[in-house]
Structures are given as structure tokens and as C-alpha cells.
Amino acid sequence: MTQPAPHAGRLSIGEVLDELRADFPDISISKIRYLETEGLVEPERTPSGYRKFSRADVERLHLVLRVQRDTYWPLKVIRQKLDDLDRGVVAPDDEGTLQVPRVIMSSDGLPGPDTFASSPKDIRFRRAELLQATGIAEELLDAAEQYGLVSPSSGYFTEADVVIVKTLGDLAAFGLEPRHLRSFRSAADREVGMVEQIVEPLRRRRDPGSAARADETARNVAALSVVLHTMLVKNGLRRRG
């Protein structure tokens, strides 16, 4: 089967110019090049050095030009806005309200396979954004990191980290601090190890679809293990009640 060329479906800078002129009559090639120089858009380059813009690049340019026209924000602020969009922290038409994640539950109110699904569009939070989204004290976040309940990667926290920290804040109201909750981290690590033991043989296979089956199996087993844990805790409390 013939593979598509790396730049198939991409637009030249002249074609991008023609598209943008409908809304921005004063746009020029030099303006587009300047925005590229400022790091606001990063088109691909052909081996001979020609720019090739994707549809996402054109939409990004449209957003930058619209914001410049309508708000007069400096490029530094626009660059921050684009970074927030890339990380999923704000919606395209949002002026700054954080998109706070929620736990996905099944119809019965318990975790299901979708709870454990990941996405390339998962939101990444800076430390200050996590504190803003959860409303917790910075000292509690420090303790959560100290005891291994959350751990940022390359300076960013995940959607799951936000939910964890919010839950830690709720538990703190009952006198439970991160130092009291290390056993939860250990139990989670054991469950992850169990899931990995089950799916590793699937991941080692080379047949088509094995990676997808491994991911699906991991999600299902993880969901079932959490439901089992939940019901065991429920029964344990009932016996003591």
C-alpha cells in the first residue's frame, strides 16, 4: 500500500495567507514568519526548507490574530494562553477558568474501565494551577509529595493528581494527613503490579491489536480490583456497625 507523503494535506505559506485574508485583510507573509519566529506557530519544513502548515497551525494562527485584534494582549500573554490551550487547562474561548477534571464513573457510581483510560489530551497542571483548582494549602501539597501520594513529571501534575490532592484535602477535614495515608500508595502499587503481571504477556506479542488488547485488559482488571476493594471496605464497615 502506498504511504502518504509526510507533508500531504499541508498548506504552503501562500495558501495560509489566502485563507487568513478573509478575516484579517492586513495579514502578510512577513507577519506569519514573525509569529513563527516568536514561537507562536511551528510549521513543518520540507527537506528543501519550505514551510508546510497543518490545519491545526492555521487555526492557531487564526486564534493568535483574533486575540491580537480584539484584546491587544502582548505576545508574552498570548504565548501563555497558547500553552494553557496545549495543556488543556483552559478552553479555546475561556478567559482563564481552569478545566478541573472529574472522576469518570460507571452508571452504578463505581469506577469502570473508562476511569483508567488515558488520552493525549489529558490536562497538565502547573503547581499553582493545581492549588487553584483544589483550593488546598500548599503545605498539604508539600506533604502529599513528601509521602509519595503525588509526583509531578517535568514540573506538571496530571488530572489524577488533581483528584488525589482534592481528596486529600477532604480527608484532612477528618484529621487524616498524608503521613497517615502512605498505606494507600503501597496498596495501589501492589494493584498496579498485579495488573502489569496479567497484561505483560499480551504486550510481548507481536500480532496486530495486541497492544490495544493489553490496554483494554489493564483497564478492566484495574476497574474490577477497585470495585472489589470498595465492596470489601463496605462489608467490613457493615460488620463493625
Q: Does a structural domain hold residue 6?
A: no
What's the average model confidence in pLDDT over 42-49? 90
Q: Where is the domain boundary, 67, 86, 105?
A: 86
pLDDT band at 172 (very low <50, low <70, confident <90, very high): very high
Residue 1 has pLDDT above 50, yes or no: no
For residues 71 and 128, state if they share a domain. Answer: no
Cell numbers placing 106? 460507571
Question: Which residue, chain included where needed, has cell 488546598?
Answer: 136
pLDDT of amino acid 137: 92
Residue 101 has pLDDT above 70, yes or no: no
Residue 153 has pLDDT above 60, yes or no: yes
Q: Does a structural domain hold residue 157?
A: yes
Q: Does a structural domain hold residue 215?
A: yes
Average confidence score pLDDT of the chain: 84
Q: Where is the domain boundary, 86, 102, 128?
A: 86
CATH number at residue 142: 1.10.1660.10
pLDDT of amino acid 6: 47
For residues 215 and 137, state if they share a domain. Answer: yes
pLDDT tens for each residue of 9-45: 789 999 999 999 989 999 999 999 999 998 889 999 9
Q: Does a structural domain hold residue 40?
A: yes
pLDDT of amino acid 5: 47
For residues 235 and 168, state if they share a domain. Answer: yes
- Model pTM greater than 0.85? no
Convert 172-200 to b/e letters by CB count within 10 Å (16 or more is b): beeeeebeebeebeeeeeebeeebeeebe
Q: Does a structural domain hold residue 108?
A: no
Q: Does a structural domain hold residue 133?
A: yes
For residues 44 and 151, state if they share a domain. Answer: no
For residues 120 and 235, state if they share a domain. Answer: yes
pLDDT tens for each residue of 72-88: 777 887 887 787 777 76
Please give the share of the chain, as a percent, with pLDDT higher than 70: 86
Q: Which residues pair with residue 128 across a beta bridge?
A: none
pLDDT band at 2 (very low <50, low <70, confident <90, very high): very low
Q: Does a structural domain hold residue 103?
A: no
Q: Which domain does 194 fall in, by range?
A: 113-240
For residues 137 and 204, state if they share a domain. Answer: yes
- How many domains is the chain partitioned into structurally? 2
pLDDT band at 3 (very low <50, low <70, confident <90, very high): very low
Q: Does a structural domain hold residue 123?
A: yes
For residues 34 and 140, state if they share a domain. Answer: no
pLDDT band at 61 (very low <50, low <70, confident <90, very high): very high
pLDDT of amino acid 143: 96
